[in-house]
Amino acid sequence: MTRTLRNALLLALVSALSLGMTLAWRHWTLVPIHEAEQQLQIRQWLSALPQGSYDNQPLQMPLPLGDTRLPHSQLLAGYRATLAGQPSAILLRSQTQGYAGPIILAIAIDAEGRLLGIQVLEQQESPGLGARVVDPQVHWLTQFTGHTQSSHWALKRDQGDFDQLAGATVTSRAVIDALQDALRYFDTHRASLLEERAHE
């Protein structure tokens, strides 16, 4: 066997071992990475619900939703939170059209039809403007907590109850309209959304 052939075989062996180790490493880390991403999504979703407002695993209680195309948004999913075996909140996943693309929200509504919390799950709004909807220092979303369907769901400049996110009129209106849609949907479907399942 010539030296050149030996070197070529050695190089091929090293390359095969390197590829095998890379694939094995990827296989071993893929599951933990996927699980970490799922846990992050779950925490993000559940952050719309105040601590202590539920004691079940709401995301394991998907609800069948009908008529999910609403006037200004679309419902993508719904879940029931319970406390001491009683329905305490409904968590809705809603999509509305913002200025630069879809905005996906987690909207928590208590059993009396009041907004408990809102979490932006995805958005593509302009940095420094509409994207500030997720800025924790702005606290724009907190103004909606405690409101019901009977509030005036519009910006103050449109004779409504709510402040605008500065420089982001389209984003502000889109979120407000999606929240009103969710509350109206809850009021319309309250009985079926809060109904206890037979095995609970």
Using an 8 Å Cβ cutoff, are 129 and 168 in contact?
Answer: yes
What is the model's pLDDT at position 195?
84
Paired tokens of 132: 């500030």
- Taken in order 147, 185, 46, 112, the sign of the CA dihedral is positive
Spatial separation of the C-alpha atoms in residues 144 and 124, rounded to whole Å: 21
Q: State the Cα torsion 65-45-191-189 to the nearest 10°.
A: -50
Using an 8 Å Cβ cutoff, are 162 and 143 in contact?
Answer: yes
Using an 8 Å Cβ cutoff, are 145 and 115 in contact?
Answer: yes
- Listed in sequence order, the DSSP H helices in the chain are 3-46, 169-188, 190-194
Paired tokens of 5: 């052939």
Amino acid letter at 167? G
What is the model's pLDDT at position 134?
85
Spatial separation of the C-alpha atoms in residues 114 and 186, rounded to whole Å: 10
Using an 8 Å Cβ cutoff, are 126 and 150 in contact?
Answer: no
Paired tokens of 138: 């702005």
Q: What phi and psi, each to the nearest 5 degrees, are found at residue 167?
A: 75, 10
**Residue 115, H or E segment:** strand 115-122
Using an 8 Å Cβ cutoff, are 78 and 193 in contact?
Answer: yes
The edge-to-edge listing of strands for the beta sheet with 115-122 is 73-83, 86-97, 102-110, 115-122
Q: Tens-digit pLDDT profile for the chain (200 aa)?
A: 677 877 777 777 778 777 777 777 777 766 666 666 666 677 888 889 999 999 999 998 899 998 899 999 999 999 999 999 999 999 999 999 999 999 999 999 999 999 999 999 999 888 877 888 888 788 899 999 999 999 999 999 999 999 999 889 999 999 999 999 999 999 999 999 998 543 34
What is the model's pLDDT at position 36?
63
What is the model's pLDDT at position 154?
95
∠ CA 144-162-72 to the nearest 5 degrees? 75
What is the model's pLDDT at position 37?
63
